[in-house]
Amino acid sequence: MRVTMFGTGYVGLVTGACLAEIGHEVICVDVDSNRIERLQAGEIPLYEPGLAPLVRGNAAAGRLHFTVDPVRALEGAEIVSIAVGTPPNGEGGADLSQVLAVAETIGTHLSAAAIVVNKSTVPVGTAQRVHDTINAVLARRDVQLDVDVASNPEFLKEGAAVKDCMHPDRIVLGASRRTTFDRLRKLYAPFVRNHDRFVEMDVRSAELTKYAANALLATKISFMNEMARIAEHVGADIEQVRLGIGPDPRIGWHFIYAGAGYGGACFPKDVLALAHAARDAGVPAPLLDAVHAVNDRQKRHLYTLIQRHYGGPPAGRTFALWGAAFKPNTDDVRGAPSLTLLQQLWDAGATVRVYDPKALDELRRTLGDREDLALCDSPAAALDGCDALVVVTEWREFRSPDLELMRERIGDRVVFDGRNIYDPVELEEHGIAYYGIGRGRSL
């Protein structure tokens, strides 16, 4: 099929490349000309495991194209996907301006019937707004085209996006016409050859499904972080509690880690947007509000532990930070707990040396060059001249550290482990003070 993909971010680029990989002809369009130029030159503007060879291979095979020109992008399009950003609008709701701008563009340049598929995370009723917008523009052009708008929320995870796209748990399709379901099934069929993983539903339910999934995952995290707070204050270890609750299949092992709080460009904004939409509909959402509030506090908890250790603001000290990305295997620092901690440390008058295997460029782009920030090219380099180490992202390479090196290089011999990846006893045996999240002994 001939697919047009609006947006070349984590969702658009990965999905576009995966659709090309299974044989479709895909053209990705973005308003960011620099991004498109880089893609045309074979440069991948974001880090996602396995993405670079997929993009380059399919571009070379002539199945994957990049353009800023919507006229070219929409020529002959059978499926038009929308995968642009839906950031917070300042009042907690979702800013739909990018989505509606794409709808205007589609209405302006579409020349034949097509199915429009919304992959962006959007409030219930947005597909209808996209439909109305396209039709209003078509009417202005005095053109009549059959355009159906479907919802196909995206569930890929950054850090495993290619794998998730190629082997999805499920593909949620929200539509009202049988023919639309059938076309979309055909589009994605090679991803689900093993067995049928399509979940068909009405459009509004599909839109809500995405928020429900993210809100539930965020709730699990905030729940564990609240348990961690309790554990810390009653002298229990949340890691042992985790091992004790995970075997229950009703609870499960996933998403029950206490940590430095959830970040990224999705969970924080989606929890807020859902709560906002609920309030708009006259439904109080106290659980969602609490999930957000717990997370907000959790992102500041590492700093609380630091202050507790030093008996006040750590002015004049130097901290090594291992990890800046909001989670491992991505370069994305949007909403990352590291940003909150960096600001707190700077406000206190501290200096920070950061190492992250993939996210340093994004960090520099986000924060600019500063005297109190050193970007380091190895974990050991970040420890040079530091007083304390803070682990913020649980990259694999941090898991088995050289404890002797830590002891030698960390001036105050203290580690703040925001992801509970170390054994407190082992560190203490090496003469290193240990603070984790929800590990009773932290008090």
Rounded Cα gap, residues 7 and 426, in angstroms? 47
94 — phi, psi (to 5°)?
A: -95, 135
The residue written with tokens 């030093």 in the block is 310
Smaller CB separation from ligand NAD, 84 or 203: 84
Q: Which of 4, 9, 209, 274 binds ligand NAD (CB under 6 A)?
A: 9
Is 266 a residue of the active site?
Answer: yes
Residue list 16-55, contact with ligand NAD (CB under 6 A): 29-32, 35
Size of the residue set binding ligand NAD (CB under 6 A): 26
Smaller CB separation from ligand NAD, 108 or 304: 108
Name the minimum Å distance from CB 238 to ligand NAD. 26
Name the minimum Å distance from CB 277 to ligand NAD. 14
Of 18, 28, 165, 266, which is the active-site residue?
A: 266
* 10 contacts ligand NAD (rule: CB under 6 A): yes
> Going by DSSP bridges, is the β-strand pair 2-6/64-67 parallel, antiparallel, or unpaired?
unpaired
Name the minimum Å distance from CB 150 to ligand NAD. 15
Rounded Cα gap, residues 214 and 209, in angstroms? 9
Stretch that binds ligand NAD, among 3-11, 50-58, 190-198, 364-372 (CB under 6 A): 3-11
Name the minimum Å distance from CB 27 to ligand NAD. 12
What 192-200 contacts at long range (C-beta under 8 Å, 24+ apart), as own/partner pairs, is 192/168, 197/168, 197/169, 197/170, 197/171, 198/170, 198/171, 198/173, 199/170, 199/171, 199/172, 199/173, 200/173, 200/174, 200/175
Q: Which of 265, 272, 382, 389 binds ligand NAD (CB under 6 A)?
A: 265
* 154 contacts ligand NAD (rule: CB under 6 A): yes
Rounded Cα gap, residues 284 and 324, in angstroms? 35
Neighbours of 122 (CB within 10 A): 22
Smaller CB separation from ligand NAD, 21 or 232: 21
Query: Within a 13 Å sphere around the CA of 439, how many CA atoms are in the beta-carbon half?
Result: 21
Q: Where are the beta strands (DSSP E) in 340-432?
A: 351-355, 373-375, 388-391, 414-417
Coil vs helix vs strand at 33: helix
Q: In the structure encoding, which two tokens stand for residue 439, read together? A: 């590990």
Known binding-site positions for NAD(+) = 30, 35, 86, 121, 158, 269, 334
Positions marked catalytic: 266
Residues that bind ligand NAD (CB under 6 A): 6-12, 29-32, 35, 83-86, 98, 101-102, 120-121, 154, 156, 158, 265-266
Known binding-site positions for substrate = 155-158, 210, 255-259, 263, 327
